[in-house]
Structure 1
Amino acid sequence: MSVSLNKFVAATGICSRREADRWIEAGRLTINGQIATKGNRVETGDRVALDGKLIGAQPDRVYLAFHKPAGITCTTDARDPDNIVDFLNYPDRIFPVGRLDKASTGLIFLTNDGDVVNEVLRAEHEHEKEYIVTVDRPYDDRFLERMAGGVPILGTRTNPCQVERLGKRRFRIVLTQGLNRQIRRMCKYLGYRVMTLKRVRIMDITLGDLPVGAYRELEGFFAGGH
């Protein structure tokens, strides 16, 4: 029985399938000493290496919910002194599922299961993500209506979404999209600047009272079909 190379690499817990594809394109992966190409499959007994170092054994699955502080970057790049992996200093190799802006706070998942990345992030799944946002000045009902109805950014229009007033400058917003800096760009288009942005829910997992900078395990959660 064989599996696709990108799925094999993701199953080892070192990256997502998307990242594995980039490694294949860069010529960094080999199968039995031969440089791999897209479409290659891995058979039982094949020796797969990244930059000449063998990879293989599937580790125990790790799923974490983390309360990201402001100032931490959602990257595994060790050259970034504020990278999320070094901040957590978790004993196993893990990586973030998606991202939050460096200035933003709140819930983010980390895992060593590359398949979860596709499951959570694929747009067609329309998983909800909930945020609490504070802007730089009081807004009116028209602002809420326009945010909820869709705003033109990045050459497209944002999908209709749920928006709820929480105060003169604070509101709750639930997105099923993941456009780059989406909420900040939406607010900017309407003439407002985001002062604080906190993600409090992804799907049915909530941040709850998890302290800033702390994490909790979600063992078995994704095995439940999410």
Structure 2
Amino acid sequence: MKNFSTSPDNAVRLAKRVAELLACSRSTAEQYIEGGWVSVDGQVIELPGARVAPQQAITVSPEASLLGLAPVTLLLHKPPGFEAGLGMEAAHAAHASRSQGARPALSLLGAPSHMAEDAASTRVLLRHFKGLECFTPLPTPASGLVVYTQDKRIARKLQEDIESLEQECIVEVAGQIAEGGLKRLCHGLSFNGRPLPPIKVSWQNETRLRFALQGIRPGQIPAMCEAVGLRVMAIKRIRIGRVPLAKVPEGQWRYLQDWEKF
């Protein structure tokens, strides 16, 4: 890839050249560039501020359109050991986890980690990794679905309804469950001094439990399992509302499709 930062002194911003070429405003030119429609000497450049020399060839794809610049939502399969949270409480937790070596899950988002078999036809652009918000915190030791969005409507939906959206988790456990323990997991336990509402809990296999619950609190599932003689070895969130993690490999992400609703 060429280094456009070393362009000569008479170089100008790419957005200026495109605006002149298309006889459009500078802001419109920037949208074409960020949309991945502009090439410099045959190489697609998505940075409006890139410096280009007068002799460099600027081309705009004949398929160029601004219709596909809608905000996107990314569904990440967070591996254990990465921090994903929101708000003051999460910020304190993030600071503590980073001090112990945890990296932000946001750092996993980029073109190289895009799921190869993503069913969405969206073209991956640099602009898709800017201005992302997360309203689906997940404990650092846990893995699974984390949502990052640029869409204000989806951000508001998650921010307002995360407590009422059912979340599904697969929990790997060790130990011997107490007699009647599964029934107590479904209903009959308390957490932080308050009785828990009915929860859907079932065995997936001999060492894995499936939890489907609303309003999950940090530490709730480990405390519930401990109360019936089990020790949590791993937690993986596989669904939020009606949106599943699906077959996204760990450490990769896919686009939320238009028809998918939380």
TM range (shorter): 0.5 to 0.7
1:178 counterpart residue number = 216
* Distance (Å, rounded) in 1 between the aligned partners of 2:129 and 2:151: 15
Aligned to 1:126: 164
Could you tell me which of 240, 256, 262 is aligned with 1:202?
Answer: 240
Q: Is the 8 A contact 2:85 2:135 kept in 1?
A: no
1:87 aligns with 2:108: yes
Do the aligned partners of residues 95 and 146 (structure 1) sit closer, same or farther apart at CA in structure 2, a change above 3 Å counting? same
Q: From the CA coordinates, give the structure whose radius of gyration is larger.
A: 2
Which whole-Å CA distance do the structure 1 matches of 2:78 and 2:105 have between them? 8
- CA deviation after TM superposition for structure 1 residue 220, in Å: 3.1
Structure 1 residues 186, 118: CA separation in 2 closer, same or farther (over 3 Å shift)? farther
Distance in 2 (CA, whole Å) between partners of 1:123 and 1:151 is 24
Counterpart residue number, 2:74 = 64
Question: How much has 1:114 moved relative to structure 2?
Answer: 4.7
Give the structure-1-normalised TM-score: 0.64
- Aligned residue among 182, 195, 218 for 1:144: 182
Secondary structure of the structure 1 residue equivalent to 2:223: helix
Query: Where do 5+ consecutive residues of structure 2 fail to align?
Result: 1-68, 111-127
In the alignment, which residue of structure 1 is the partner of 2:145? 107
Using a 3 Å threshold, how does the CA distance of structure 1 residues 117 and 172 change in structure 2: closer, same or farther?
same
**In structure 2, distance between residues paired with 1:187 and 1:73:** 23
**Number of equivalences:** 166
In structure 1, list runs of 5 or more residues that go unmatched. Answer: 1-58
**Contact 1:66-1:106 at 8 Å conserved across structures:** yes
Rounded to whole Å, the distance in 1 between the matches of 2:167 and 2:144 is 11
SS of residue in 2 equivalent to 1:99: coil
Deviation string for 1:59-106 (max 9, x for gaps)? 842211111101000047796350111232463121322211111111
Q: What's the TM-score, normalizing by structure 2?
A: 0.56
Confirm or deny: 8 A CA contact 1:67 1:213 kept in the other structure.
yes
Q: CA deviation at 1:113?
A: 3.4
User: Cα distance, 1:147 vs. partner?
Assistant: 0.6
The 3-state SS of whatever aligns with 2:103 is coil
Letter in 2 for 1:161: I
CA RMSD of aligned residues (A): 2.7
Higher strand residue share: 1
Alpha-carbon distance between aligned partners in 2 of 1:104 and 1:124, rounded to the nearest angstrom: 18
Residue 147 of structure 1 aligns to a residue whose secondary structure is helix
Compared CA separation, residues 154 and 114, structure 1 to 2 (3 A): farther
Alpha carbons 1:164, 1:172 under 8 Å: kept: yes
